[in-house]
Every structure is written in structure tokens, then in C-alpha cells.
Structure 1
Amino acid sequence: MNVPWAAVAGGALIGAAAVLLLATLGRVAGISGIAAASLHASRGERGWRWAFLLGLLVATGLVLWWQAAPGQPPHALLRDTLPAWQLAGAGLLVGFGTRLGNGCTSGHGVCGLARGSKRSLLAVLIFMACAMLTTLLLRHAGGLA
């Protein structure tokens, strides 16, 4: 699949999932909130949360399988140029950030902006500024070869 069209298709699927979840269950599709509450939610809340998270994993697996080159294991597409310890550190920082910001990019960026939330707009501006600064430092200021 051509990369720009893959991004368009991915964005459309994310938007459709967010609309479907809001329309059917009245819930916002914030991944960090869904994941955090999946462990301690009431019995009626656990099912849809686990189904949503499982759907994310299955869809990721399908995309990796589809895009893998012949003879290349699909999981080889998961790692960029960062060593495992940096990926783990990045994951911990993202987790900390979602707790600090009371939401993640999907909750604030997709759902919050669509609802016109000022708090989500501020969160997205901060997310983007941090992403740009990180890219500048790691890719252009000598952080990575």
C-alpha cells in the first residue's frame, strides 16, 4: 500500500472507531483511559474495553503481516533505529505523560478536538511541541546517527 494512502486509511479507521464507540456506548476512545480502566472496571465495563484493546493488537498484527517483505518476519517492522532500552524508556515516558495530561493523543487529539475541548487543544499543542523537539534533538542535533 502506498504510504500516504495507508495514513489516510488508518486515520479514517481511527475516526470510524471513535465515532462507533461514542455512538454505541457513549464512551470516548482514549486508549490510555480504556487500558487503565480495563483492569479494575466493573464486570459490564470490562468486556468492551478488552475487546477494544484486542482489536488494536489484532489490527496491528494484520498490518505488520501485510506489509512485511517476503522472507522478513513481520515483527522486524516494529523496531526503528532505537535500541530496546530507549524504546522501553520512551514507553514509560509516554505512560507518565498520559497520566499527567489526563489522557493520550487519541483521547485528546481525536475525540477531544472533535468535541471542541479547550483542554484537549492545549494538550495536543503540548504533544506536538514535545514531538517536534524530540525529533529535532534525536534526528537533527546529533542524538541519533
Structure 2
Amino acid sequence: MDDLKLVARLGGQLVALPAAAIESVVELDQITPAPLASRHVAGLAPLRSRVLTVIDSYVAIGEAPADAEGARQAVVVTIDGHSYGLLVDEVEDVVALDCEIMPLPAGLGRGWAAAAIGLIELDGQGALLVDPARLVGGGTALEAA
């Protein structure tokens, strides 16, 4: 494997997302709730003359909802022609990796197991390789598991 990964923290965990799937990283000041949306959908936010569906990545991995106060960092992805903002703790870097994808460790929570596709080594630390589409799918990935 030799490609770019966006490295971020989500729920305190180091994660890597395929950079090819990333459109941008933004700060979201205002998220409007979306009535009757799935629990992992935090709401909607304006972004460059369009509407962004904001995914509460914390809920998608089985954690408590993201803090609703203040600006939040989001990774913008497009999946099936729709734009989504994935809430994260912080974005750390974009790196070129040439490493093997290892199997997920035993004892990983169901939410993480549903969102991650493997484990990679990054500067001597384990980082979960996360599929953005699985975060967007939220609870449906958990129910299918």
C-alpha cells in the first residue's frame, strides 16, 4: 500500500482515512438539527453555497455524541454524490504510507469494528484505517454486523 492518508483523532483514537476520499477539512460553527434523522446525523450545515449533512462520528462508532458547543472540525467527503462532514477531534496531518494493512485487534468495540477496515502502523503507533462510507452509514453498519 503506497498512498496518502489523512491522519486525525476521533474519540481520542488515532485514525487514518484515504485522502482520495477527502474533499476538505472545515470548521463548522453552526449545525442545524435535522428532525427525524438517524441518531448519528448531527444535522445540516452551510458550506460554500451548498448544504452539508453532518455526521456525528462519535455516535457512529458507539460513543457519546460530540460536544454541541463551539466550532467543530469536520472532514468533508462525497459519497454517492452527497456531501458529508465527519466530525473529528482534530486533523493532524496528511502522510504518504507504504505499509501493510493488519487485521483489527480483538476486543475492539462494535462501532469501531464496523467503521474500521484494518490497522496500520504510523510513527510507531497503531492507527485504525477508517472507511468514511461506513461512518456515514452509522448504525446500519452495526446492525448488519
- Give the TM-score normalised by structure 1: 0.24
Larger Cα-atom Rg? 1
More helix by share: 1
Considering fraction of residues, name the structure with more strand.
2
